[in-house]
Amino acid sequence: MSGPQPGLHFGMQRQPNFENLRRTILRQGPPGPVPFIELLADLGVVEAVLGEKFPVDLRRYLDEAFVDVSADELQELTKAADMFVRFWYEMGYDYVPVPTDLIFHRHLIPLADTAALPDWVGGERYWQDETSGPIQSWADFEAYPWPKAEELRHIALQYVSAVLPEGMKICVHLPAVFENAMYLMGLQSLCYALHDQADLVEAICQRLGELVTAVAAQVVAWDNVGIIFQGDDMGFHSGTLVSPDVIRRYILPHQKKIAEVAHGAGKLLVFHSCGNVYALMDDFIDYVGVDAKHSFEDKIMPVEEVYHRWGDRVAILGGVDMDLLGRGTEEQVRTRTREILEVCGAKGAGYCLGTGNSVANYIPVQNYLAMLDEGHRWNREHFEGA
């Protein structure tokens, strides 16, 4: 049947086509319409687009898994999950992003959210403490409440799998190895520790890598899972946050194992990293074996240039610049979207349309919708039946 499963009520009917998304990412023919893809959409954007509020304050689950919830709260959480599924379906995506239950406790700092569409009740935004974290010593490492992969239930994955609309798959978001090492130590402390306590850094990355790989092995067994999305921010404007050799030593071997787990189960491995990580692009492609690279910024390297350099070896995803989406006019967004599609989408494979990072709550909704609408128009003009 076309459309969503019974029990979910959508404002439109469409036929998702995950196989087209898979074909596109694998750079296979025949040419077809350019799919849409995103890392995530902020809660405020989802609420604004759907015209309704989430029935539960989701802040609680920033730093803890979906465990020990009451029956009433579980009912509200399922309603929230229905909203997420409906958003990704109605916006034209062929997948629903779902997190795992693997969460690492860290230090978060609440500050006022000045964006137009606040994500959290109370108008706060949460920032990572860059100076410190829960692990600063071997004693902290031993005392830290490391999760046990065998105890995880993956409740969100279970529910979304049961209500997933026909033609869609689940895109599982795995926790990062490098990012979580930063969260557990604080970036500043991590940088000092690379010199003073390299063995501790290695132990943290090893434990993180083992846990994330174990969870990857769990989730790829689900038939409804089609993509493993490995987000791991490693860069800033002019380079990587730590030496590329540090990343090669402590992080990439774990990412390679995760890719092997995904590919062994026939799933796609999409890699996201913010910042200038181009010194490692060959490593991501040839050593890790990622199927696609996500997250681009015009002032670092426009997505068209990335596509020209590496698009014959890996799929390129997104790239409509966040600054333009946040501060530009609707017409500017439409023009830029079409410019990118004329270069990256012409082959009908190897590129998916989306923002340069995510659908952040500081992006005016009309600009986000304009990007998608221009993508639909371009597809109709170039691919029959799109």
Contacts of 70 by beta carbon, 8 Å cutoff, 6+ apart: none
Check residue 75 and give its pLDDT: 79
Check residue 243 and give its pLDDT: 97
Check residue 126 and give its pLDDT: 75
DSSP symbol at 271: E
DSSP symbol at 121: T
- Token pair of 316 as six digits: 């390129």
Identify the bridge partners of residue 320 per DSSP, sorted by sequence position. Answer: 355
Full pLDDT tens readout for the chain, 386 residues: 234 444 444 556 779 999 999 999 999 989 999 999 999 999 999 999 999 998 877 766 555 555 566 667 777 888 889 999 999 999 999 999 999 999 998 887 887 888 878 777 677 777 788 889 999 999 999 999 999 999 998 988 999 999 999 999 999 999 999 999 999 999 999 999 999 999 999 999 999 999 999 999 999 999 999 999 999 999 999 999 999 999 999 999 999 999 999 999 999 999 999 999 999 999 999 999 999 999 999 999 999 999 999 999 999 999 999 999 999 999 999 999 999 999 999 999 999 999 999 999 999 999 999 999 999 999 999 997 66
pTM over 0.85: yes
Closest CA to 152 of 172, 166, 169: 172
Q: Which helix (H) or strand (E) holds 169?
A: strand 169-174
Contacts of 60 by beta carbon, 8 Å cutoff, 6+ apart: none
Sign of CA dihedral 229, 232, 233, 238: negative
Contacts of 223 by beta carbon, 8 Å cutoff, 6+ apart: none
Q: Which helix (H) or strand (E) holds 172?
A: strand 169-174
Identify the bridge partners of residue 272 per DSSP, sorted by sequence position. Answer: 231, 294
Check residue 65 and give its pLDDT: 55
Check residue 67 and give its pLDDT: 55
Check residue 45 and give its pLDDT: 94
Identify the bridge partners of residue 231 per DSSP, sorted by sequence position. Answer: 272
Q: Provide the b/e sequence for 144-175 (b: ≥16 CB within 10 Å).
A: eeebebeebebbbbebbbebbbebbbbbbbbb
Burial class (CB in 10 A: 0-12, 13-18, 19+), 195: exposed
Domains of the chain: 18-382 (3.20.20.210)
Q: What is the dihedral of CA 66, 69, 71, 73, to 10 degrees?
A: -80
Check residue 3 and give its pLDDT: 43
Quick check: 15 and 176 in contact, CB under 8 A? no
